[in-house]
Structure 1
Amino acid sequence: MVIEILKSKIHRVKITQAELNYVGSITIDEDLIDAANIIPNEKVQIVNNNNGARFETYVIKGERGSGTVCLNGATARLAQVGDIVIIMSYTYLEMDEARKYEPILVFPDADNKLLK
């Protein structure tokens, strides 16, 4: 049996931009996506801690070290600049492998920078 489990999570980052007139996606600082083992174009789920919205989109690589977390396109309607969100990616694993898998958890600081 194959099940879907949490692969990685960027916990409590701040939305820095919201660009409604864009094709779609979420732009994330390359440092954060590298730390979370997320790649450009990967599907992610986003949970907005401020308003409870939950939605899916895909990742665009943002400028390294910038702290950027920008919602693009229609998703820009689901959060405001300053909102705190959790970004999660998932994977499919066989049950035995899933039982042993430990997701990657990234806890950035208040400026969306990696903690050393």
Structure 2
Amino acid sequence: MQIQIMKSKIHRVKITQAELHYVGSITIDEDLMDAANLIENEKVQIVNINNGERLETYVIKGERGSGKICLNGPSARRVAVGDMIIIFSYGIMDFEEAKKFKPTIIFPDDQNQLI
């Protein structure tokens, strides 16, 4: 049996930008992507702590060290600059393998920088 399990989590980062007139996606500082084991174009779930919104999109690389977290396209309407979000990614794996799997979870500071 295959199950879906949390692979990565960026816990509590601040939205720094929202760009409505863009194709779509979430731009994430490449340092945060590396630390959370995320890759460009990976599907992610976004949970907005401020308003409870949940959405799915894909990752694009942001400037390394910038702290940038930008929702692009229509999903920009579901956040405000300064909102706190959690970013999740999931993987599919064998049930027994999933029992032993440990996700990558990072807790950036209030400037979206690695601690």
TM-score range, shorter chain: over 0.9
Matched, 1:21 2:6: no
Where does residue 71 of structure 2 map in the other structure? Answer: 71
1:22, CA displacement in angstroms? 0.3
Where does residue 32 of structure 2 map in the other structure? Answer: 32
Unaligned runs of 5+ in 2: none
Q: Work out the CA distance in 2 between the residues paired with 1:78 and 1:103.
A: 27
1:23, CA displacement in angstroms? 0.4
- What amino acid is aligned across from residue 59 of structure 1 in structure 2? V
Percent identity of equivalent pairs? 69
Q: 1:70-89 residue pairs with structure 2 within 5 A?
A: 70-89=70-89
- What amino acid is aligned across from residue 26 of structure 1 in structure 2? I
Q: 1:90-109 residue pairs with structure 2 within 5 A?
A: 90-109=90-109
Where does residue 10 of structure 1 map in the other structure? Answer: 10
Q: Work out the CA distance in 2 between the residues paired with 1:95 and 1:40.
A: 26
1:76, CA displacement in angstroms? 0.2
Where does residue 46 of structure 1 map in the other structure? Answer: 46
Q: Work out the CA distance in 2 between the residues paired with 1:112 and 1:17.
A: 13
1:110, CA displacement in angstroms? 0.1
1:95, CA displacement in angstroms? 0.5
Where does residue 113 of structure 2 map in the other structure? Answer: 113
1:96, CA displacement in angstroms? 0.4
Runs of 4+ in 1 over 6 A off after TM superposition: none
Q: Work out the CA distance in 2 between the residues paired with 1:28 and 1:51.
A: 20
Q: Work out the CA distance in 2 between the residues paired with 1:74 and 1:42.
A: 18
Tell me the number of residue pairs that the alignment of Structure 1 and Structure 2 aligns. Answer: 115
